[in-house]
A = this chain, B = another copy of it.
């Protein structure tokens, strides 16, 4: 929660509820996950508020938007550089903190200015592996 102080962000009760839900959350929730969680405390909460808050946070660098799940966007409050492993069955996502050297081969850069990278690992989680083998 500390990290959201002093960013000029207006801390409304709704935003605090969202921030509180996100703080330390390692589930990589979708917008709907967040909406449903916050709805318990704010029954009048609107989807627009969730999306607006997430977008505001993202712009201020307090949140990452993950594209690894083909079905929907997932959000990660941990903005330190790291990677992800997703279960291709149930879409559970876990963090991977390996320190990788990822040089781009000469001639493949195509004149791009590189600003970042992210590794997607694909796998099957223990639960789905077990369910699969029944």
List A residues at the B interface (Cβ < 8 Å). Answer: 65, 67-70, 73, 85, 87-88, 94-98, 100, 102-105, 108-126, 129
Residues A67 and B70 in contact, CB atoms below 8 Å apart: yes
**In the complex, how many angstroms separate the beta carbon of A58 from the nearest chain B beta carbon?**
11
Query: Within the assembled complex, what's the spacing in Å between the Cα atoms of A73 and B70?
Result: 8
Chain A to chain B contacts (Cβ below 8 Å), 7 pairs: A85-B108, A85-B110, A95-B108, A110-B125, A112-B123, A112-B124, A116-B122
Q: Across the interface, which residues of B come within 8 angstroms of A114, CB to CB?
A: 85, 121-123
Residues A115 and B104 in contact, CB atoms below 8 Å apart: no
New A-B pairs, 6, CB < 8 Å, besides A94-B108, A115-B123: A94-B112, A96-B104, A98-B102, A104-B121, A110-B126, A116-B121
